[in-house]
Amino acid sequence: MDKFIIKGGRRLTGNVVISGAKNAAVAILPAVILSDEPCVIENVPNISDVNICLKILREMGATVENLGKDVYRIDPTGIDKVCVPYETARKMRASYYFLGALLGKFNKARVSMPGGCPLGDRPIDQHLKAFSILGAEYTLSQGMIDLKADKLRGNQIFFDVVTVGATMNAMLAAVKAEGLTVIENAAKEPHIVDLANFLNSMGANIMGAGTDVIKIRGVKHLHGTNYSVIPDQIEAGTFMIAAAATKGDIIVENIIPKHLESITKKLEKIGVNIEQYDDSMRVWVDGPLVKANVKTTPHPGFPTDMQPQIATLLILAEGTSIVTEGVWEQRFRYVDELRRMGADITVNGKVALIEGTGKLMGAPVKACDLRAGAALIIAGLAANGITEIEDIFHIERGYDCMEGKLRALGADIEKISVPDNKTAETDNSRAAV
Ligand code: EPZ
For ligand 1, pick from 98, 122, 233, 333 the residue to mutate: most ligand atoms within 8 Å of CB: 122
Q: What is the mean pLDDT of each run of 10 residues along the chain (433 residues)?
A: 96 98 98 98 97 96 96 97 89 91 98 70 91 96 93 98 98 98 98 98 98 98 98 98 98 98 98 98 97 98 98 98 95 97 97 96 96 98 98 95 98 91 46 49
DSSP code string of 123-191: --HHHHHHHHHTT-EEEEETTEEEEE-S--B--EEE-SS--HHHHHHHHHHHTTSBSEEEEES----HH
Output helix, strand, coil percentages for the chain, rounded to the nearest 5: 35, 30, 35
Is residue 141 within 8 A of residue 175, CB to CB? The reply is no
Residue 165 Cβ inside 6 Å of ligand 1? The answer reads yes
Architecture of domain 22-228: Alpha-beta prism (3.65)
CB under 8 A, 24+ apart: contacts of 122-125? 122/93, 124/96, 124/165, 124/166
**Is the shortest distance between the CB of 94 and ligand 1 below 6 Å?**
yes
- So what's the pLDDT on residue 300? 97
Q: CA-to-CA distance for 28 and 22, rounded, in angstroms?
A: 10
117 classed as catalytic: yes
Element (H, E) at 233: helix 233-245
**Domain extents for the chain?**
2-19+231-432, 22-228
Residue 165 Cα: closest atom of ligand 1: 19
Q: Which atom of ligand 1 is nearest to the CA of 304?
A: 8
| Minimal-distance CA residue to ligand 1 atom 4 | 23
Catalytic residue (one of 53, 117, 368, 401):
117
Residue 96: closest CA among 80, 85, 112? 112
How many CB atoms within 10 Å of residue 395? 24
Is the minimum distance from the CB of 304 to ligand 1 under 6 angstroms? yes
Q: What's the confidence (pLDDT) of residue 46?
A: 97
CATH number assigned to the domain covering 2-19+231-432: 3.65.10.10
Ligand 1 pocket, residue 23 CB under 6 Å: yes
Residues 102, 107, 113: CA angle, nearest 5 degrees: 50
Full DSSP string of 335-376:
HHHHHHTT-EEEEETTEEEEEE-S--B--EEE--SHHHHHHH
Task: Report the atom number in ligand 1 closest to the C-alpha of 128.
Answer: 40
Q: Which pTM does this prediction carry?
A: 0.96
CB 391 within 8 A of CB 429: yes
pLDDT of residue 90: 82
Residue 163 Cβ inside 6 Å of ligand 1? The answer reads: yes
Q: Please tell me the distance from the alpha carbon of residue 296 to that of residue 79, in angstroms, as a whole number.
A: 40
Neighbours of 87 (CB within 10 A): 8
Q: How many CB atoms lie under 10 A from the CB of residue 286?
A: 9
Determine the 3-state secondary structure of 302 from DSSP: strand
**pLDDT of res. 117:** 43
CB-based contact 263:306 (threshold 8 Å): yes
Q: What is the pLDDT of residue 418?
A: 85
The ligand 1 atom at the shortest distance from the C-alpha of residue 97 is 15
Distance of CA 305 to the CA centre of its chain: 7
Given a contact cutoff of 8 angstroms between Cβ atoms, the answer to whether 190 and 168 are in contact is no
Are 359 and 342 within 8 A, CB to CB?
A: yes
